Structure 1
Amino acid sequence: MKLNYFKSKLFLKYIWSYLFILLIPLVLMTIFIYESAVTNLKSEIEQSRLSQLTQTKVTIDGRMKELSEIASRISYDKRLTPYRVHDPIYSGEAIQALDQYKSTSSIIGEIYLYFHKDDKIYSSKGLNDIGVFTDNVRFQNWKKETLIQDLNAVRFPTMHPSDTVSNPSGMQESMLAYLIPITPNSPTPHGTVMVMIKESELTSLIDSVLGNYQGMTYILDNDGHILVDNRQGEALTNAEAKSLFNNLAPGIHDRSLNGKAHSIVSVKSENNGWTYVTVMPTAQFFSSVLHVRSLIIMLFIIIVLVGAAIALVLARMQYQPISMLVEFASSKSGAKEQSQRLEPAGNELDRIRSALQEYSSRIDLQEPFARNHFLSMMLKYGSTQSLTPELQEAFDLQFDRSHHFVMVIGWDTDEHSDLQERQHIIAMLAQIEFPELDAHGYGVELPQLDQLGLIISFSLGGRPDAFSHMQQIAEAVRTTLLETFDVVPVIGVGTCYTSPDQLNQSFIEACSAIELRISGEQGTINYFEKLSTTADPAFWIPGSTLLKLSQSLKQGSYDVAAQMIHSAIQSLQSSDLSALLTRCICFDLLNTILKAASELGNHGLMQQIAPNMMYGGTLDEFERSLLDLASQICSQVEQDNQQEEQSVIDRIVAYIDAHYTDNSLSLESVAFEFGISPSHVSRSFKEKMGLNFIQYIWQKRMGEVMHQLKTTTDPLKDIILKVGYVDTPNFIRKFKKETGCTPGQYRKMFAEGGGSTEDTDDE
């Protein structure tokens, strides 16, 4: 039969796999070439800008040096000494000299000479009063006071950033002010030369740095302030620029601005500390390599076409043996319907895998059930004759040790009801080894979800006591469960026998041990051999414990009562008493609780006793029942105490209502009157009334004063003293703070007979 390869998903997958093998390195190589081209171009542009910035820096440094030399010559020019410029005869020569210095540099827009604390300032155009100068030459961001202060205080050459300058005619121009102290390098300069530079003079020097690219060029002073900038496209605010260029080292950097990658090139002048920076978006470099992109795309298409042809040949060569295996698997499937059922399940490899997994799964599914069935039969009947050597070998079971016993392991289904975790426990216990104890075990699933059986076989190996060896094995099992699964189990252990045929008896005993256990606490191990052991019958609960329990119930202290009950039960759990004697001793606790309830007047508690307290249940269940009874008694005591406390508070409130006009009334006096501590009165009063003792008395006195002000014409001082308040000024302040008006104003507002003669008592 001739195969149609293109109808096979597997054949198409092989073609795609070969194409991917070809395309992945091809794509990576393409990206590498493209990125290399962009990186090289970016590096060239950055190096070009670095060279241009360096050249610009040298040029501007030269201009700044030229200005410093002019200032130096001015400081030593005899025509510009303070004496000559102040002399009306020679002041014309000074102005002419400044004009000559201005003409020596093309970037000087104007030059000014100012002597410290002088009221005049000199320029190439004439002499001006300093006040007139600041009015005529106005800087947008440089206040007059700051300008005069800078002229008097500058100690080092300082460039004021580009600012808008207005002249008397109203014209505005963007200029920089370069302040140079004279004499230069003197610790105590006597004047300042201020050179005004048009911003365009500096921007013209950095115009060529960006070329045809979008970006920004900045010149910053040594404090990071922008002196001038040149922008093509986007722009940054002064705050953004200062944040970006803060601590920016000279060189080439990559930064992200507004979520976009930018290339930053900076150069710093060693002469004046200025920084020259260009910022350009990196994305525009990619658009400059279009010719490289076109060539790469063409090569990519050619290689893909050739690779597709090679992939077709290779895929056909690899698919032929697989198609033969598919036919073989279909012929061995046992039925034509089976082959038809498998065909739509996936590709050819999936059909082969499914055929093999089907046979394997039949065995895998049946083996655990068969193994567990045989082990369950052993627990039920105890006979190992049904386990032939072949089955023992198949199930990997060995009962060649000298001693055998059964453990039943249970756990709280409320806390560990996860079936997946139970399956993991079963898988671990299916066959467990304890080499150091010369023992191994086989797990058996029991009908109950919260229980598992474990058949243990071991050899004494010279140990005289089999029971102590069993204890070590049981403890090892418990520790393994705790460490591996964080499961806190309760374990019942049956008696040890020398023949595996008696495992059914050990299983029954293990079930009895876990069912009749003295303690229901998780994590305990209960041995059947200990259930009938009777210890010293003189063991009883200490009288001090019973006395403390009775007293804690009378006091309504549930925490103490619960602690006494728990400690008593815990001591019983750790004892070696038999179950019957333990149950008898437990009635001491019950009798103590019932007696305490009777003394408290609760005679009906006996009817609330659960039947399992009298006839059965574990110690844990008995403890919970006792705690429930103790909780009822303590709750009743607490309720009675609250009712009594409420009655006391009601009597205290009534006492305060009757005596609040007594100025000697205090928390201590009330507490003494009722025989209660002041702290208890304060706490209880706040809990019951919602406000503290002092606030309640103040409200009573305040209400009475308001009533007296509205209904009587008694003097205010008399009213305040009458309600028990001695400090009249303090009362008036508090009254005004609470009502918003003085007592006199309050009386005017509510007096029935009009005005009052006591309006000034609160003044």
Structure 2
Amino acid sequence: MKRNYFKSKLFLKYIWSYLFILLIPLVLMTIFIYQNAVTNLRSEIEQSRLNQLTQTKVIIDGRMKELSEIASRVSYDKRLTPYRVHDPYFSGEAIQALDQYKATSSIIGEMLLYFHKDNNIYSAKGLSSLDVFAGSFSFRNWNKETIFQDLNSVKFPTMRPADTVIRNSYLQDSMLAYLVPITPYSPNPHGTIMYLIKESELTSLIDSVLGNYQGLTYILDNKGQILVDNRQGEALTNAEAKSLFGLSPGIHDKILNGKPHSIVSVTSENNGWTYVTVMPSAQFFSSVVHVRSFIIMLFMIVVLVGAAIALMLARMQYQPISTLVEFANSKSKPKHTADESAAAGNELDRIRTALQEYSSRVDLQEPYARNHFLSMLLKYGNAQSLTPELQEAFDLHFDRTHHFVIVIGWDEMDTQDDRQERQEMIELLAQIEFPELAAHAYGVELPQLDQLALIISFNMIQAEQEFTPIRHIVEAVRSSMLETFDVTPTIGVGTCYFSPDQLNQSFIEACSAFELRASGGHGSVTYFEKLLDTPDHTFWIPNNSLMKLSQSLKQGSYDVAAQMISPSIRSLQSSELSALLKRCICFDILNTMLKTASELGIHNLIQEMAPNMIYTHSLDEMEIGFLNLASRICNQVERNNQKEEQSQIDKIVSYIDDHYMDHTLSLETIAFEFAISPSHVSRSFKEKMGLNFIQYIWQKRLEEVTRLLKTTNAPLKDIIIQVGYLDTPNFIRKFKKETGYTPGQYRKLFWENGHARPVSDLDDE
């Protein structure tokens, strides 16, 4: 059924708002758009011209560098030494070499070689005297005497401005003369290379980069002389053109010939030349005639169809809100229907209420996420993954100086009262403070229902011994449980470390100490640090290290196992014991690993790897073998755990399939049924099934409802209650969200001989 937007006061407000926005400031917007279009277009053109001019500079600089490199190669070419050039026998080879150098650059019109105080000049065409050269190349502003003086005196690469040259008495062309002393940049050059470059070669380079640019382009040398004048349009006077010299690189506005002009300037870092383009500012406005016409047309259209545009925009603006309202109605439990809510109040208030409900649901899931993260911290010890956002979300802080883990166990709880007491115990230990001991602790649910880990962080007072505050904290935890729940816990305490990254080691040690609770009796406290060795056998592997190694293998923690094996082997290598005794001591490690593997039911590794390690020849080989064996055991433990979890999840899924119609079915009932913690059930179920516990139960109930709607005529409320869902209105909203139909529509679609009819023909419920 289509929603009537005009019944919504919020939708009508949007329409009036858009009408006001579109019609009132329309004239001001038109003026602004036009000015902005002109400004943006001008900025784009100027920026494009700046980029093109920079590209032109790079290309021409590259060509000039190319000419300097040619001159440098000429100066070191043995064929072009003064001796060989003057020698009749080698002169032909020298002329050929000049011709080869000339061919390497496309912009060279002519290339000439002159040696100081010589009366001859050499080109790719042959030898000629200066008089003959002056007759062949007659410069309008560069006479023979000046040419001779410049050829003998130039010490730095020098470009002469474009000049009219009459060649062979009848050919006229505009050319630039580029003089490069050889050797280049030498304080005492012995000659000069003169390149004659047609001005058209440089202007064609400029035109090829600037494209269809209509304006003036100049290249000025580092003294302000105009080297190249490329005119397209109105020309500037010589004085105005020279005034362009000295402008800073970038875009400028300047009055030339009494008119505003846009000037773009770029300066070469290599030779100090200035590249300038000049364009009348009026051309920018002629470029936006089409924009002006378009704005006038747009003005007329907006005036005529403003109401329609306002309606469309209001609908676009309101549609997401309407969708959010429908979503909020389908996911929450309102007191009224969606239409009543929209009529009675603002849709935004309804969305706000839904968000508050979702926030409360997130708060319910937060303990599971927090426990999952802390479980990963106990397993891998990577406290660096705790970002500030996670710290704030989970209210976790590891800013104290010392950290350790304790494992707490108690008698199994079977009755409902026991379960309630266990939940209260978990809530108490989830986060507990000991201000007088400068310590705080975070509880972590372990997979076993009768066990809990506690991560403790505290600040050590310098005057105290390290073990003293640990004992006080453990006693405080034990006393708190005794006073609050009358429970005598069994506690295993791991070693204290400076970094929270080592909490996985402390957890392994706490598990090792906890396993010894049988020897200590019920309610005992076992400190891993107190599991000392016999003083007379200090050169053997410590018992607590072997115990920690065994526990790390049982937990599948290869990192901790490697930290037990490698240091032990290295300490043996540095000892002065005999090789036989060292080997015997190593067998302690091997026996511990093999015994642990046997306890875990991993027998194939013993047969595969143990014989090879017995016959190894060095401690290094034994260390590699031990680490490999530890890795194999840990990997097998991980695989076994995954198989066990999968098998357990299969049993849980089967249990849900049999009991999903029970409205009391919950995460907690599943946890106690299978003797594992709720957080472990939640995490494992999502990992294995791809959807969470609540979603799976909803899908099962939905499937059963759809089946009953198709096959029975039982009342809808009875069907919903029958599948274990007590909130009928909420179920109907979720059903429509999932299928697109209400339950009544769905039944009518599939009830009559299985022939579906359009939903529009059905009555709404």
Shared fold per TM-score greater than 0.5? no
TM-score relative to the length of structure 1: 0.36
Q: Larger C-alpha radius of gyration, 1 or 2? A: 1
TM-score relative to the length of structure 2: 0.36
* Higher RCO structure, 1 or 2 (CA under 8 Å, sep 6+): 2
